[in-house]
């Protein structure tokens, strides 16, 4: 096997492993200078195979099994319970019960959460007959996760016959009335799950009480916290990379409706087993990620965070900014910049800070950042902001003209918007300088 074949084999073997783990293995092997590149790749491939075999041999979560009369039931309720002292990946389930309401309020941007806790929340995820939504889309699998006594309980309503939807929704309605959940937690639930479920309730002349509850849609928080740290913010990928959860291979979302319709046609339960597993794991992953994100925000409330990685510090700053706490966000942006961020990301953060200081009229801090960006990125906005500052704040049109001319030279033929701006600015500054010099002697 040549090196190219080895690389391709490694790509296939390690695609579902944590990138950090693969990197750690390679760094250990690469330090062995007595090995050729081919020998190092072969050794990495052997270790990857060994880890995959070991992982496959471990006990996997038991898949829900159909009841003895499954084929005769119009819909079924599947239940799983997990002791609060167990872990989901790196997260103890009980940890979520200690999340302060203030943290939940920051994540949700909703003060109503300040008096609430995750002990009264319901985590919700739907699998549907289509991805577009609308009145023709039916949620055939409704998954709920919540605390009950000393356990985290998962309840899944699975629709075996579309005609039984009213009966299933009636039973779901009874559960919601019984539990009286105080809040809802979802992953894109504000834009998809809750509106779709509310539509189905309305069409069946029912009222979805969850629509009135405070709602934490964690999709947006997850993107703020981890989009610069990981390539993907899908639940599956974050569970693997952030929580260290060993989930089975996920199924593509676009395949779920097809599998369900095939099940309706054939009655083959094996077609939907993976969907039920997928739904259950998504709820558990959502819970784990909410707790992981809450821990980061809680540490920021306590003034801690010196050991938090730079991109996560940046993410915490974004969460605080989104919550309207600009001073806190600036503090964490500065802490993130003090560590090592990717160049493009750090430049974007500096630009945001420069605008913030400008609004606060902290001119020296703002100009210091614009000058840094001008020297390190040649961003056209830097030249424009510096020209504005020296013309209007320092009353120095000559200095402003220098930046305007530099900006015009960089923008000509490359950026029409800035080119036109700098041309007008140069012309105006030239006229202003001439007026200040007075009439020319003849």
Model-level pTM greater than 0.75? yes
Mean pLDDT estimate for the chain: 85
User: pLDDT-derived band of residue 30, with 50, 70 and 90 as boundaries?
Assistant: low
Whether 51 and 10 have beta carbons less than 8 Å apart is answered as: no
Residue 315: what pLDDT? 94
Asked if pLDDT for residue 174 goes beyond 50, the answer is: yes
Quick: pLDDT tens for 219-248: 999 999 999 999 999 999 999 999 999 877
Please state the rounded mean pLDDT for residues 144-149. Answer: 96
Tokens of 261: 């319709």
User: pLDDT-derived band of residue 262, with 50, 70 and 90 as boundaries?
Assistant: very high
User: pLDDT-derived band of residue 340, with 50, 70 and 90 as boundaries?
Assistant: confident
Please state the rounded mean pLDDT for residues 72-88. Answer: 90
Report the range of poorest mean pLDDT among 65-74, 173-182, 253-262, 414-423: 65-74
Pairing between strand 151-159 and 87-88? unpaired
User: pLDDT-derived band of residue 311, with 50, 70 and 90 as boundaries?
Assistant: very high
Residue 284: what pLDDT? 96
> 166: number of CA atoms within 13 Å, CB side?
5
Q: What angle do CA 344, 347, 349 make, to 5 degrees?
A: 110
């Amino acid at each position: 096997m040549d090196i190219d074949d080895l690389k391709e084999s490694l790509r296939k073997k390690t695609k579902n492993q944590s990138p950090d783990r693969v990197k750690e293995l390679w760094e250990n092997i690469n330090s062995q200078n007595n090995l050729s590149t081919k020998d190092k790749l072969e050794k990495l491939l052997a270790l990857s195979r060994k880890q995959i075999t070991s992982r496959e041999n471990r006990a996997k979560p038991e898949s829900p099994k159909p009841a003895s009369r499954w084929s005769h039931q119009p819909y079924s309720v599947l239940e799983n319970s997990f002791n609060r002292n167990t872990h989901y990946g790196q997260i103890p389930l009980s940890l979520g019960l200690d999340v302060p309401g203030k943290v939940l309020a920051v994540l949700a941007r909703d003060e109503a959460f300040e008096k609430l806790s995750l002990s009264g929340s319901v985590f919700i995820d739907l699998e549907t007959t289509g991805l577009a939504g609308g009145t023709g889309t039916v949620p055939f699998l409704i998954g709920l996760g919540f605390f009950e006594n000393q356990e985290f309980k998962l309840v899944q309503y699975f629709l075996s016959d579309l005609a039984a939807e009213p009966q299933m929704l009636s039973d779901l309605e009874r559960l919601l009335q019984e539990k009286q959940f105080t809040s809802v937690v979802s992953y894109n639930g504000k834009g998809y799950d809750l509106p779709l479920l509310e539509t189905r309730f309305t069409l069946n002349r029912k009222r979805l009480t969850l629509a009135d509850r405070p709602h934490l849609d964690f999709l947006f928080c997850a993107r703020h916290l981890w989009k610069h740290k990981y390539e993907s913010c899908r639940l599956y990928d974050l569970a693997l990379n952030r929580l260290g959860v060993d989930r089975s291979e996920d199924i593509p979302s676009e395949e779920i409706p097809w599998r369900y319709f095939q099940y309706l046609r054939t009655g083959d339960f094996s077609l939907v087993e993976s969907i039920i597993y997928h739904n259950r794991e998504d709820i558990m992953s959502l819970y784990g990620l909410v707790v992981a994100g809450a821990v980061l925000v809680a540490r920021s409330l306590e003034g801690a965070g010196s050991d938090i990685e730079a991109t996560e510090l940046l993410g915490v700053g974004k969460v605080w900014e989104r919550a309207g706490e600009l001073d806190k966000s600036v503090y964490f942006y500065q802490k993130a910049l003090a560590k090592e961020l990717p160049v493009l990301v750090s430049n974007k953060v500096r630009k945001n800070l420069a605008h913030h200081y400008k609004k606060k009229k902290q001119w020296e801090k703002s100009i210091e950042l614009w000058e840094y960006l001008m020297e390190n990125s040649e961003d056209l906005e830097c030249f424009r902001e510096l020209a504005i500052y020296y013309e209007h704040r320092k009353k120095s049109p000559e200095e402003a003209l220098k930046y305007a001319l530099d900006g015009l030279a960089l923008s000509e033929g490359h950026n029409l918007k800035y080119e036109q701006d700098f041309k007008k600015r140069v012309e105006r500054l030239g006229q202003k300088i001439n007026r200040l010099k007075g009439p020319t002697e003849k």
